[in-house]
Chains A and B, each alone.
Chain A
Amino acid sequence: MDTLLLSRIQFGANISFHILFPTITIALGWVLLFFKLRFNATGEIKWMDAYRFWVKVFALSFAMGVVSGITMSFQFGTNWPGFMETVGNIAGPLLAYEIMTAFFLEAVFLGIMLFGFSRVPGWLHTLATFLVAFGTTMSAFWILVLNSWMHTPEGFEMRNGVAFATDWWAIIFNPSMPYRLVHMLLASGLTVAFLIAGFSAFRWLRGDQGRDVRAGLKTGLMLGAVLIPIQIFAGDMHGLNTLKYQPQKVAAMEGNWETDTNVPLLLFAIPDEEARENRMEIAIPNGASLILTHKADGEVPGLNDFVTPEGEVMHPPVAPVFYAFRIMVGTGMAMLLLSWASVAIMARRRDVGALPRPMLFVMVPMAFSGWVATLAGWYTTEIGRQPWLVQGVLTTEMAVADVPAPFVGTTLVAYLAIYALLLSAYVFVLFYLAAKAGKGEQIRLRVPQPGEAIARQVPAE
């Protein structure tokens, strides 16, 4: 394999591993703040117990996100120097603002949030929790600004092959940014909703049916049920935005080869890029036209429009985009079904305990449904941008480093091994913590008075 392909696999592996953890921490920070505020308001211990369990998951996820994020900041330079050399004048300030307004904020206050409970006044601990949640969200904002700009670049001009910023407002609020940001924040919310529901269900099934588990199950399922319809709507809007600015991506998502009206919605197909056609199509007539143009005879762009007369393919590889999109949508539908059905049962019977056991069993693997949908969604949009790195400005091939392929190959194997190890360890420890909390090994806490710090004894000098 050549350096380009190896570098792409390496960056893809890295960013796939990385995104799993911010997806959790962005929303979990806010959920923790919610638990904390509920405890402050009601004084009910179940909220603090829920906080105490999920803050461990937060700390672990945060560490995983930090270390894999550091890796990426270096790989820009080691593997993709052409990226910063060409668009550094735009990407640079955005990354700098992310580091300065988000990374330091979350990193510093994380220490106080995790270990400062008995060292600082209650209000400062709540403030630290807020600032960590705020920091993770700011971080998501800046990085999605940059990512969206790579899809829909605006507010710049090219001089001697280098991009120069002309309008920062247009750069930051580029056409796809609002959609992508909302779509990702909702994805994070859903990931956390199902994570909390799933692990609460796991604890429930193991006989740990305390009030904090009840509260977790209810919070997770309610959050999921509220967010999923909003997400489906936001996703649809994002798709329409993509149709306008990156029609070749939508063509790949729909598996549509020829620009046409009355295009069917393909539920399943095997796209064959060699023959430039689909095999084994299962389709709903006019479906794609209806979804994308809201008219049965609306026109949907086709992939064949994005092949130059010389035969150069300027559209993304079809099959991965096509499948990834279907996995994302399918997972979303499963989320909708599960959350609405369970909330309906809880509402009817007015009791979390009324949820049937098979449903709880389904919730456990669904704890990671957010990861599946998020990864599939990112694969759709990022592979869908190929062959461009920055749409219309810079191809991925132009940005790759002149590093010997064996170097990239060796480090790739090392990264993959360590990611596999860490991911297994992470999932294992999550289940271990949940099981341990269920055995009642968790120390019942010393109840702090809200707004009052407890002096801790200093170990003997």
Chain B
Amino acid sequence: MELFGDPGQWLPLTFAGLMGLSILIYVVLDGFDLGVGVLFPFADDGEKDMMVASIGPFWDANETWLVLAVGLLLVAFPTAHGAILTALYLPVAVMLIGLILRGVAFEFRVKAPTPHKRAWNTAFFVGSLMTSLAQGYMLGLYIMGLEQSWATWAFGALTAVFLTVGYSFIGATWLILKTSDVLQAKAVQWARGGIWGLVLGLGAISLASPLVSDRIWDKWFSVPEIFALAPLPLMSVALVVLLWLALRRLPTSDDSWAWFPFVASIVLFTLAFFGLAYSFYPYVVPDQLTIYEAASAPESLFIILVGTCVVLPMIGGYTVLAYTVFRGKAQELRYD
């Protein structure tokens, strides 16, 4: 444990990194399948089946990243876990009920009698929407330092809408990749409609977080940091422009470049995530509790880390296997 210096320093940092990685993977992976759920009302019945087929084999594993993220928060930073989750009590409950609804709707919509299918489709949409909105609201409140006031609630409402649009955007780009013909063309339309929400969302968060906290302002807008960090927003702008250009040309006749919007969205989400992580480091509860103050005992963290080093590559390996098995255009889901 002493190998890399003081374990009280590097272990909390490592776990903050692991937790951040899980959150990022979660936001990208569950982001696209939540987004597909949010887009449900715009599709007809046959398209709905194909949309679910495109995420069916993956959604369960995608959600497991949320469990890992909150699990890491729980195990590595127990005091922060309590503080954050009790402050976000109601939105967490909304998110959980949303996750329950959409998770079971996957199964019920194809197993219940046909007349009930419409109701379960609605449950799938409502659940996805509740989850996305609740997560966006929590993001907003977190950026506002978990303060409760009309202003922070309003900002939370704003980020709730923007994150939902962001999810539906990455969901649409997933559908561009995984579907063909009419549905693919529709997905391109949805993505065109969603990109503005994405831009506004990224803009709102980028503007609000330095304005709320002097500390974050100083981290971004002092010399020389401002020059070192400039590539982050510039790359984001460039990506948005490329996405916009790509969406004007898609779908192509030979389906080339269908992968591009999805990959570009992942990069965009990743950039935004790094921006946020940079703003908040070293705090886990904004401006109240650092990762070093909130960390569990080094002995306990170390024992988790050993397991993580062995298991995480395996998880990566079989996740790749699953995406390889179900690669290509989505097909009807069948058990035989």
Contacts and interface: CB of A to CB of B under 8 A. Distances in A.
B100 A71 contact: yes
A70 B66 contact: yes
Given A73-B71, A108-B322, A458 B81 contact: no
Contacts of A108: 61, 315, 318-319, 321-322
B60 A63 contact: yes
Contacts of A418: 97, 100-101
The A interface is mostly helix, strand or loop, or mixed, namely: helix
B61 A107 contact: yes
Q: Among A64, A67, A82, find the residue whose CB has the most chain B CB atoms closer than 10 A.
A: A67
A39 to B, nearest CB: 12
Interface of A: 52, 55-56, 59-60, 62-64, 66-71, 73-74, 76-78, 81-82, 84-85, 88-93, 95-97, 99-101, 103-105, 107-112, 114-120, 162, 164-165, 168, 401-403, 407, 411, 414-415, 418, 422, 425, 428-429, 432-433, 443, 445-446, 456, 458-461
B107 interface: yes
A77 B82 CA distance: 5
Contacts of B311: 100-101, 104
Contact of A460 (B63, B64, B180): B180
A110 B84 CA distance: 32
Nearest to A163: B297
Interface in B293-314: 296-297, 299-300, 303-304, 307-308, 311-312
B56 interface: yes
B231 interface: no
Interface residues of B, number: 70
Interface of B: 56-58, 60-61, 63-64, 66-68, 70-76, 78-79, 81-86, 88-90, 92-93, 96-97, 99-101, 103-104, 106-108, 111-113, 180-181, 255, 296-297, 299-300, 303-304, 307-308, 311-312, 315, 318-319, 321-322, 325-326, 328-329, 331, 333-336
Contacts of A96: 71-72, 75, 304, 307-308
Contacts of A73: 67, 70-71, 74
Nearest to B320: A108
Given A92-B78, A422-B104, A459-B180, A70 B331 contact: no
A6 to B, nearest CB: 12
Given A67-B104, A92-B76, A99-B64, 16 more contacts: A63-B104, A81-B78, A82-B82, A92-B300, A93-B300, A93-B307, A100-B307, A103-B68, A107-B64, A116-B325, A118-B334, A162-B297, A165-B297, A403-B86, A433-B111, A461-B180
A78 B96 CA distance: 12
A84 B71 contact: no
20 contacts: A63-B103, A63-B106, A81-B79, A84-B75, A88-B296, A89-B296, A89-B299, A92-B74, A100-B315, A107-B60, A112-B325, A115-B334, A115-B335, A162-B297, A402-B86, A418-B101, A446-B336, A456-B331, A459-B180, A461-B329
Contacts of B81: 76-77, 81, 84
Contacts of B66: 70
Given A60-B111, A96-B304, A429-B112, A67 B99 contact: yes
Nearest to A454: B336
A109 B319 CA distance: 9
B103 A67 contact: yes
A360 B75 CA distance: 49
Contacts of B108: 60, 425, 429
A111 B319 CA distance: 10
The B interface is mostly helix, strand or loop, or mixed, namely: helix
B325 A119 contact: yes
A74 B96 CA distance: 8
Given A109-B318, A111-B58, A84 B82 contact: yes
B56 A115 contact: yes
Nearest to B71: A99
B93 A411 contact: yes
A90 B180 CA distance: 50
B112 A84 contact: no
A69 B67 CA distance: 9
A62 B73 CA distance: 25
8 cross-chain pairs, A with B, having the tightest CB-CB distances, nearest first = A81-B82, A92-B75, A77-B85, A111-B57, A88-B78, A67-B103, A84-B78, A107-B61
Given A66-B103, A68-B100, A99-B67, A88 B60 contact: no
B194 to A, nearest CB: 25
A78 B97 CA distance: 14
A443 B336 CA distance: 10
A165 B63 CA distance: 30
A76 B107 CA distance: 27
Contact of A459 (B88, B299, B308, B329): B329
Contacts of B318: 104-105, 108-109
Given A63-B106, A461-B329, A77 B303 contact: no
Contacts of A164: 297, 299-300
Contacts of B82: 77, 81-82, 84-85, 401
A275 B84 CA distance: 45
Contacts of A85: 78-79, 82
Given A77-B81, A84-B81, A111-B322, A401 B335 contact: no
Given A55-B335, A60-B108, A425-B108, A111 B61 contact: yes
A88 B75 contact: yes
A77 B294 CA distance: 14
Contact of A100 (B61, B63, B90, B312): B312
Contacts of B300: 88-90, 92-93, 164-165
B134 to A, nearest CB: 11
B73 to A, nearest CB: 8
A103 B58 CA distance: 13
A16 to B, nearest CB: 15
Contacts of A411: 89-90, 93
A67 B97 CA distance: 9
B334 A66 contact: no
A151 to B, nearest CB: 21
A325 B56 CA distance: 41
